Amino acid sequence: MKIIPVELGRRSYAIYLKSGLFGELGRLYRRHELGEQVAVITDRTVHKLYGAQALRSLKAAGLRAQLIPVPAGESSKSLAWADRLYERLIRTGVDREATIIALGGGVVGDLAGFVAASYLRGIAFVQLPTTLVGQVDSAIGGKTGLNHRLGKNLIGAYHQPRFVLIDPEFLTSLPPGEWRSGWAEVLKYALIQDAELFAQLEALPPGKVLSADAELLTGIIAHCCRIKASIVSEDEREAGRRELLNFGHTIGHALEAVTGYRRFRHGEAVAWGMLAAAWLSREQGLLAQEPWGRIERLLSSFELPRDLSGCEDEALTAAMRRDKKSRGGQIRLVLLSDIGQAIRGQAAGDAELRRAFGYLRSRAAGS
Ligand code: GLY
């Protein structure tokens, strides 16, 4: 088993990574100083596939466990769903010693994490990510959040998990869109700080990028977890280096918001956002033509959903201005000076953003 530490003083924790580790959930839980009562929050799709097994493993370890499913999809990341979960926790007598386990992808992790951060002023929390996005990014680092109808993740809290359990075997049940979404987050790490990882992804034969073999995949997940752990250990509250992890996200979140969180998976929107951010980096003279060409080629091979209808300039820039990273209405982006080198806090004017959106629309139209 690989054990990757996230160093945060008294709130430090481990990321455990091994194929088949899910079967050891109860035993792994018991190795930590955590209470006897567990509420597993999951989505209905994951519930059908893995809910019973999670419950069996926890009960076999002598724990009092219940499963609480929510609908799959971004619409569950809402105050309305948080409220339903509070009600269920209160009605079933979940107390301060209890632990919430998030079993699912980024949506479940963000929602369950927010509920754990706020219920009874905060109870223990464990992340059990079942998607590639969750395993390489969202389950690590303590960001939790809900969407508001005016923007993504506008409500949230930092609440670090007590441990993260990663089992790459979950990924065998992922649909292609979820693979794409996860690979976009992997590519993000490559673009912001790891040119070698970029070259490794670039060298994968076409098609392979969505179905890497188990050993290669486990190695890549571990590598991404180490990068994320080191960034979070250095800058938990996003006052500096952690901002780099938002590469592609400001535009990506805007695409998600203007399409009602229904058209794109998170990583797919981020992939479009990274393409636009790389294009802007070249426009601003930060990124040379050669790395730009490589980035465009690799992202184009992702077969992203191409329907950008309704993604008008005004709506996108308005959504970007409401982004948490904007300051005084000024849109700030992470841009690239090379593959593996990112610069944060770069201003982007409305005219160049409109040109970047125009570029995305032309790519989406296949030209
Ligand atoms: N997903 C970006 C971060 O955790 O900072």
**In three state form, how does the secondary structure of 299-341 look?**
HHCCCCCCCCCCCCHHHHHHHHHCCCCCECCECEEEEEEECCE
Strands of 37-43's sheet, edge to edge?
2-6, 13-17, 163-166, 124-129, 99-104, 37-43, 64-70
Q: Is 141's C-beta closer than 6 angstroms to any atom of ligand 1? A: yes
Interior angle at CA 178, CA 243 and CA 123, nearest 5: 60
Name residues of the chain where pLDDT drops below 50: none
The pLDDT value recorded for residue 31 is 97
Q: Is 245's C-beta closer than 6 angstroms to any atom of ligand 1? A: yes
Phi-psi label, residue 123: left if phi above 0, alpha if psi -120 to 50, beta otherwise: beta
Interior angle at CA 10, CA 146 and CA 13, nearest 5: 65
Identity of residue 162: R
Task: Write the residue with the smallest CA distance to atom 1 of ligand 1.
Answer: 138
Catalytic status, residue 266: yes
The single residue listed with the structure tokens 């519930």 is 47
**In angstroms, rounded to a whole number, what is the distance separating the alpha carbons of residues 325 and 328?**
10
Q: What is the pTM of this model?
A: 0.93
Interior angle at CA 243, CA 136 and CA 2, nearest 5: 25
- CA proximity to 209, closest of 185, 180, 248: 180
CA-to-CA dists, residue 251 to 49, 192, 226, 288, angstroms: 33, 16, 26, 21
**Topology of the domain covering 185-364:** Dehydroquinate synthase-like, alpha domain (1.20.1090)
Q: Is 138's C-beta closer than 6 angstroms to any atom of ligand 1? A: yes
Q: Is 159's C-beta closer than 6 angstroms to any atom of ligand 1? A: no
Backbone phi, psi, residue 94, to 5°: -75, 125
Catalytic status, residue 121: yes
Distance of CA 334 to the CA centre of its chain: 17
Among residues 143, 282, 332, 363, the one annotated as catalytic is 143
Among residues 266, 325, 332, 363, the one annotated as catalytic is 266
CATH number given to 2-173: 3.40.50.1970
Among residues 162, 249, 282, 332, the one annotated as catalytic is 249
Burial degree of 58 (CB within 10 A; 0-12, 13-18, 19+) = buried
Two domains, one topology: 2-173 and 185-364: no
Q: Do residues 79 and 146 touch, judged by C-beta distance below 8 A?
A: yes
The pLDDT value recorded for residue 91 is 98
The pLDDT value recorded for residue 328 is 73
Among residues 243, 246, 256, 332, the one annotated as catalytic is 246
Q: Is 185's C-beta closer than 6 angstroms to any atom of ligand 1? A: no
> What are the residue ranges spanned by the domains of the chain?
2-173, 185-364
Query: Among 15, 227, 242, which residue has the most ligand 1 atoms within 8 Å of its CB, making it the best to mutate?
Result: 242
CA-to-CA dists, residue 43 to 113, 263, 298, angstroms: 14, 19, 32
Catalytic status, residue 159: no
Catalytic status, residue 238: yes
The single residue listed with the structure tokens 């007590």 is 162
Q: How far is the CA of 60 from the centre of ligand 1 (A)?
A: 34
**In angstroms, rounded to a whole number, what is the distance separating the alpha carbons of residues 76 and 47?**
15
Q: Do residues 144 and 163 touch, judged by C-beta distance below 8 A?
A: no
Catalytic status, residue 27: no
Q: Do residues 126 and 100 touch, judged by C-beta distance below 8 A?
A: yes
Provide long-range contacts, Cβ within 8 A and 24+ apart, for 117-121: 117/144, 117/157, 117/158, 117/159, 118/82, 118/157, 119/86, 119/89, 119/94, 120/95, 120/96
